[in-house]
Amino acid sequence: MTYFSKLSGDSIYLSPMNPNDYELYTRWINDLTTSIPLGNASTNFSILNEKEFVEGAAKFSCTK
């Protein structure tokens, strides 16, 4: 998988969302250490819902 670094720091870089990473995003958003600060702790996100969200977000980010 190719990732394009858009914003780099000493130990991290940000790149556009990759729709193929939906399973990883699902694990992150369902992890309480991530979801509590985001205000999503009461919601459990399914892999299918997260896949649809990531695909839509990736399409949106490609048009900007």
Per-domain residue ranges for the chain?
A: 16-53
Let me know: does 5 contact 15? Beta carbons within 8 Å: yes
pLDDT digits 0-9 by tens, 17-56: 788 899 999 999 999 999 999 888 888 899 999 999 988 9
**pTM reported for the whole predicted model:** 0.67
The torsion of the CA quartet 52, 53, 57, 58, rounded to 10 degrees, works out to -40
> Could you tell me the maximum CA-CA distance found in the chain, to the nearest angstrom?
34
Of 12, 11, 25, 13, nearest in space to 58 by CA: 25
pLDDT on residue 61: 60
Between 3 and 27, residue with greater pLDDT: 27
In whole angstroms, what is the distance from residue 3 CA to residue 6 CA? Answer: 9
